[in-house]
Amino acid sequence: MRIPCPYCGSRDIGEFVYRGDASPVRPAADGAEAAMFAYVYLRDNPMGRHEEHWYHTQGCRNWLVVTRDTLTHEIPSARLAAPLNAGDAV
């Protein structure tokens, strides 16, 4: 499987570290116990299209949001989780 890293180009998954579903958003801290529980523990775990976090640990060290199909493993797209700062442009 290969991931089209927006910064480095198409690379083997051996260069990346997987984290998981990119859709849960970390809630702001205090008084958010239920929301934090859902963020940390509950997953849709879909069969099909999945937006997920991958870290290009042996490349540019960017965190990516990769769209991948969990049944076919096809990867239609990938983007940087955080846009590059001005002046960091490739």
Partner 1 sequence: MTRYSLFSLAAKAVSGHRGWQRAWRDAAPKAAYDVIIIGGGGHGLATAYYLAKVHGITNVALVEKGWIGGGNAGRNTTIIRSNYMLPGNEPFYEWSMKLWEGLEQELNYNAMVSQRGVLNLAHTDAQRDGYARRGNAMRLHGVEAELLDLDAVRRHAPFLNFDNARFPIKAGLLQGRGGTARHDAVNWGYARAASALGVDIIQNCAVTGFLTDAGGAITGVETSRGPIRAGKVGMSVAGHSSQVAAMADLRLPIESHALQAFVSEALKPIIPGVITFGAGHFYISQSDKGGLVFGGDIDGYNSYAQRGNMPTVEDVCEGGMALMPMIGRARLLRSWGGIMDMTMDGSPIIDHAPIPGLYLNAGWCYGGFKATPAAGWCFAHLLATDAPHETATAYRLDRFATGHLIDEKGQGAQPNLH
Partner 2 sequence: MSRLASGGLIDRTRRLRFTWDGKALEGYHGDTLASALLANDVRLVARSFKYHRPRGILTAGAEEPNALVTLGSGAHADPNTPATTVPLTDGLVATSQNRWPSLRHDVMAVNQFASPIFVAGFYYKTFMWPKKAWEKLYEPLIRRAAGLGALSGLPDPDSYDREHAFCDLLVIGGGPAGLSAALAAGRAGLRVILADDGLEPGGWLLSCRDTIAGQTASNWARIAVAELGIMANVRVLPHTTIFGIYDGCEYAGVQHLGAGQPEPGQPRQRLWKIIASRALLATGAMERPIIFGGNDRPGVMMASAASSYVNHFAVAPGRRAVVFTATDSGWQTARDLIGAGVEVAAVVDPRGGGVPVDMAGIRRVRGLVRDVRGSAVRGADIATPDGKVERIDCDLVAMSGGWNPAIGLAAHLGQKPVWSEAIQSFLPGALPPGLAAIGAASGQFALGAILAQAHGAAAALAETLGAGGHAGEPSVAEDEACGVAPCWHVAGARTKAFVDFQHDVTDADVALAAREGYVSVEHMKRYTTLGMATDQGRTGQLNGHALLAAATGKTVAEAGTIRARPPAQPVAIGVLAGHHRDEAFRPARLAPSHGWATALGASFTDAGQWKRAQWYAQPHESDWLETVNREVLATRNAVGFCDVSTLGKIDVLGPDAGALLDRLYINTFSTLAVGKARYGVMLREDGMVMDDGTTTRFAEDNFFLTTTTANAARVLQHIDFARSVLWPDLDVQATSTTEHWATFSVAGPQSRALLADLLPEIDLSNAALPYMGARRFRWNGISARIYRLSFSGELAYEISVPADHGPALAQALHEAGATPYGTEALGVMRIEKGHPAGNELNGQTTAADLGFGRMMAKKKDFIGKVMAQRPGLTDPARPALVGLKPVDRAQRIRAGAHLLPVGAKPVAANDQGHVTSACFSPTLGHAIALGLLAHGPSRHGEQVVVHDPVRGADVLAEVCDPVFVDPEGVRLRG
Q: Are strands 9-12 and 17-21 parallel, antiparallel or unpaired?
A: unpaired
Residue 52 bridge partners (DSSP): 21, 66
User: Which pair of tokens denotes residue 36?
Assistant: 């934090």
| Cβ 13 to partner 1 shortest distance, Å | 6
By CB under 8 A, is residue 42 in contact with partner 2? no
Residue 52 binds what, of partner 1, partner 2, none (CB under 5 to 8 Å, by partner type)? partner 1
Phi, psi at 43, each rounded to 5°: -135, 145
The residue ranges that bind partner 2 (CB under 8 A) are 1-2, 10, 12-13, 17, 19, 26, 28-30, 32-33, 36-37, 39-40, 53, 55, 57, 61-63, 72-75, 80-83, 85
